[in-house]
Amino acid sequence: MLGAEFREAPDILDGVVPVGVALLSAAPNVGKTRLLTQLSVAAVRGAPILGRQTTKTRVLTLALEDGARRYRKALTEQVGTSWPNRGQLTIRTTSKRLNEGGLVEIERHLDRHAECGLVIIDVLERVRPRSTGTNAYRLDYEALAPLQRMANVRQIAIVVVHHANQRADVADIFEKVSGTSGLTGVVDSLLLLQRRRGDNVGRLSVSGREVEDQEIALSFTDGWWGPASEGMPAALLDEKREVRELWLWLADNEGASTADLAKQYGRTENATLKVLRRLEERELIDSLGTPAKGRPVCWQVVRNVS
């Protein structure tokens, strides 16, 4: 093994989706299918997405939850009349379970299309083997183990969509992934997509063996994902919209007093100061100078915080 040479395949989405199985979890109606629709189109074109480069490749998508009509509508809204060439993007809306022929069908597609480097399965529950035992960890592990072997032998990326639970009392955000540690233990990387209902920003948390642990701030405009406003740290997404807007205003003005920020925030100076102190404790902003008569404290943003 020490003398063996291994072919290094590039990430499908730089720093986010490497070779192997990535488990993408999100709560219902967050926009995970839209995100993967964007990724599939970007990958077949070799175009950037979320401000990151993609590796041009053919894509197989198993859109098993939304149905053909809904998925086609989302795809049409994105590409208009500029559809990918035939064979570049293959979309199937039905599939057998992996242990009942589904895995074989994927293997056959990859045999016929050697240039296919990305497989998207939306959603895991539609393809995982039916429960035949009581060991939940083993069932979860065996649900993804065949895909993990396939991905690493063929040096391709497989993104599997899974649902996240709504728990807010977890220390590790990836504990929000529904199921046991059998799921998170077998995959090569974990992606958690979060967005408050009705909000226009979100966060993509990334962790894995071949990627750097990171949190990426995203925008969600007209139903499509993109990079967040330049310089916005992912940690800021925990704050309410008006607080985020206050931070962005401060960033644009490169410093302001408490009084100036109170006017912008539409609150009293005392109420605004409480918000500013909290943001300072979270290292999202910093104060310059010492308050004194005729010399108010000046606030500035702290950039590049994740």
- The CATH code of the domain that includes 260 is 1.10.10.10
Residue 137 and residue 169 in one domain: yes
pLDDT digits (tens, 9 = 90+) for 211-260: 999 999 999 999 899 999 888 888 898 899 999 999 999 989 878 999 99
Range of the domain at 73: 20-228
Query: Which backbone phi and psi does 179 adopt, to 5 degrees?
Result: 110, -170
Asked if residue 46 belongs to a domain, the reply is yes
Give tens-digit pLDDT for 19-30: 999 999 999 889
Enter the tokens of residue 237.
């997404």
- pTM of the full structure: 0.87
Tell me the CATH number at 193.
3.40.50.300
237-242-248 Cα angle (round to 5): 70
Tokens for 189, please give them.
């990387």
* 22 beta partners: 159, 189
Domain assignment present for 4: no
Structure tokens at 283: 């290292």
* Domain count for the chain: 2
- In the prediction, which pLDDT does 305 show? 47
% the chain with pLDDT above 70: 92
